Chain A
Amino acid sequence: MWAREFRPKKVEDIAGNEEARLTVVKWLTHWINGNKPLLLIGPPGTGKTSLVHALAQQFNYDLIEMNASDTRTRGELEKRVIPILGNTSLFRKPILLFLDEIDGISSRNDTGGLEYLTKILKEPTIPVIIAANSKNTKIKELAKLCKTIEFKIVPPRLLLSFLEYILRIENKELSLEEKISIVSDCKGDIRSLLNIAQSRLAGYKTFKGDTTEIDIADTINGYFSSDSVENGKSFLSRTNGMYSDPRFGMSTEERRKDLINAFFSSIVASYRQIDSKSMAALLDVLSQADLIVGRAVRNRQWSLLKYLDDMISYGLYEYSHNKGIKYSQYGMIWPVMGPILARGQSMKVVISNLAQNAHMSRSEFGSIYLPYLIKIMSDKRVNPIKFALDSNVDEKVGEVLTKEMERISSKIRYTK
């Protein structure tokens, strides 16, 4: 297995993230009692674990490692970590403690684990390195105690030359086209690059992820152009889309794959082809499906999700087939949606800066205060830039208010 064979043995063999690596080396070589732990944050396959292994090897530390496969309840941690922190003289070599995949710590099964770590890592007596894929809310408290170092995905050009280096060592050849396809399939993950390259050379065509998966756009288009419910459903069963709750911070890409939202935006964007009765019926189906999603997420009752493919594919079919509904990522055309989103972004700054000073909730403030503030400032010819400056709030507030005031004065001229 190449991924193991080519795991870098030395810090300098790791591809990418030079600066981050240098910082880590400096941290370890200058480490003194009580120094903050290091927190390495970065996507999988960017060399975090390899780096720590290489460090221990090169700088002659005993590496004690705990990762997601270990139980990390408070009791378990106490048993393993306390002897290390308290008594270094038992070992000949100095110790480096490495807590890998810390964001995989389960709030359910690893009860009290994170809180306990947060407590004991305040002034550690040995160097501690923690690694995680992302800085989620679970580890926020822990992150405050640590010096954070970010690992970025390895850039394609570096991946390509790394791949060529491996091929030279292995005495193998691939066409440039194939190499580029491997680099793009691995999505910046070196481990995955090695796995894909190895299997390509062995004659398999593997991708990171399942080849049979259909992208969300093709899923929606496929469903709406199917000539039978069964065919339509088959698109849903092979989709890379998913049922999720977008209110829990998701990336743009994850949000794009949200099935309920993709169906919703595609249907409403095609409003011209859909009569009011069908529209109400289609949205009712999605609305009911969304209830199930909400319940599944809230109660962590994921088994509920299995009913959704049927609810949606059978529920929508009668009112949607042969209507020419096409996939649309957004529910309205961009010239309409774009300005609303942009204006929303800037108004958010105003609302979050001012609502509390008016002793109101943000929603209430936006409803019965903000529109009047803008009108009154415009009537009184208050200079919004000066207003923001005097108020000691974000200067963007002044800029946004200026624009909004121009909006209403142009409207007044218009109606006259």
Chain B
Amino acid sequence: MSTLNNSLRNTMWVEKYRPQDLEQIVNQNEIVDGISNLLKNPEAIPHLLFAGPPGVGKTTAALCIARRLLGEDWRKDTLELNASDERGIKMVRERVKSFAAVIKLVTDSSNEHKMYRLIILDEADEMTPEAQTALRRIIEDSSKTTRFLIICNYLSQIIDPLQSRCVIFRFTRLTEKDVVDHMKIICKNEETSFEEKALAKIYEITSGDLRLSINILQASAATKHVSISTVHSAMGMSGKARVSEIIRLAISGKFNESRIKLMELTTVFGISHGDFLKYAYQEIYSLKLPNPNKIAVLMAEYDFRLATGAHPDLQLTAFLAQLALQASDQQ
């Protein structure tokens, strides 16, 4: 048992209240039923593919499955990889292949269901198509011993041959009631009072991302009371809020401030250049600028340049300069 895990669980509500059993997962009933049915016959479990927005329980469900299939020692036989950290074909070749290649020799008859090794591949939509293709072969070759649990936000980014090798579960966005009710349970448990409006506000900002919601909730609860104003300052701490600030600075013509903040964001908080553009798009969209079509073209162009070019800092800084220009054109 990892001691770091215990430390995090003692500190962070998001870990303390992370479901340990499939049945505890907030309102993905159809999915939970479907998976539970499959788990009844562990021998015949197919590879699984979970798709859906962030913070709805995909990774948690995967961990619950690992625990159910492999017991309390699940970590020993589970390889957890995050494709957005290592996205190339090298990761597939070196890490996935070598892990999948080891044949597990537990044939203890009382424990027959423990014969699999599990590979949880998170954010698989960040993988290059080349790496996904390599994965396809490995999945086939190792299916005697290894089950894959692939997780992504956008199913369309997963190549068809991979999709066809998995049973796909689509996780849906949580409703306001689901998230708010869950936060209320936590507040009650933690003897924390709250303004109803504050919880609604959290849902509004996080678009139903339960993990982010709980983090904001806890960060707003320093005084055991969650109010609109504590929620406001807590949401200002996220990387997304920092991206919004950078975009606003650029649009208001403060190019230099915005690029320094950008450098801080990627260097200090390790936020990837790709995630920056993703959050930037959400922010720009919500700002409702006068010519969204032009901005969309600009975003698409720099998304492409970022992926193709060799200097990501240059590409994003050039993007900020274009935004500043758009803004000064309109004045």
Binding site for B on A (CB under 8 A): 244-247, 260-261, 264, 268, 271, 276-277, 279-280, 283-284, 286-288, 290-291, 293-295, 297-298, 331-332, 336-337, 340-341, 343-344, 347-348, 351, 353-373, 375-377, 379-380, 382, 387, 390-393
Additional pairs, 9, CB under 8 Å, beyond known A360-B59, A364-B275: A280-B325, A290-B305, A294-B310, A343-B268, A351-B270, A355-B82, A361-B85, A372-B215, A375-B234
B122→A387 contact, CB < 8 A: no
CB closest residue in chain A, given B259:
A268
- Choose among B215, B219, B272, B324 the residue that contacts A363 (Cβ–Cβ < 8 A): B272
Closest chain-A Cβ to B102's Cβ sits at a distance in Å of 18
Closest chain-A Cβ to B83's Cβ sits at a distance in Å of 8
A340-B256 CB under 8 A given contacts A286-B318, A287-B309, A387-B11: no
A276-B63 CB under 8 A given contacts A347-B269, A363-B275, A393-B4: no
B255→A279 contact, CB < 8 A: yes
Interface of A is mostly: helix
* Complex interface: chain B residues within 8 A of A356 (CB): 80, 82
Segment at the A interface, from B27-35, B136-144, B235-243, B287-295: B235-243
Closest chain-B Cβ to A108's Cβ sits at a distance in Å of 16
- Choose among B3, B216, B271 the residue that contacts A366 (Cβ–Cβ < 8 A): B271
Q: How far is the CA of A387 from the CA of B5 in the complex (A)?
A: 11
* Complex interface: chain B residues within 8 A of A361 (CB): 82-85, 122-123, 126, 272
B305→A367 contact, CB < 8 A: no
B134 at the interface (CB under 8 A from A): no
Q: How far is the CA of A268 from the CA of B82 in the complex (A)?
A: 34
Interface residues on B, range: 35 or more
Q: How far is the CA of A277 from the CA of B84 in the complex (A)?
A: 35
A363-B318 CB under 8 A given contacts A245-B310, A271-B256: no
- Choose among A362, A379, A390 the residue that contacts B85 (Cβ–Cβ < 8 A): A362
Q: A-B pairs with CB below 8 Å: how many?
A: 206
A392-B308 CB under 8 A given contacts A276-B325, A368-B211, A380-B11: no
B325→A290 contact, CB < 8 A: no
A373→B11 contact, CB < 8 A: yes
> Which residues of B254-297 have CB atoms within 8 Å of chain A's CB atoms?
255-256, 259-260, 263-264, 267-272, 274-275, 279
Closest chain-B Cβ to A360's Cβ sits at a distance in Å of 7
8 A-B pairs with the lowest CB-CB distances in the bound complex, closest first: A367-B239, A344-B267, A283-B318, A366-B269, A391-B4, A363-B272, A245-B310, A290-B309
* Complex interface: chain A residues within 8 A of B311 (CB): 246, 260-261, 264, 290, 293
A344-B255 CB under 8 A given contacts A290-B310, A376-B11: no
B207 at the interface (CB under 8 A from A): no
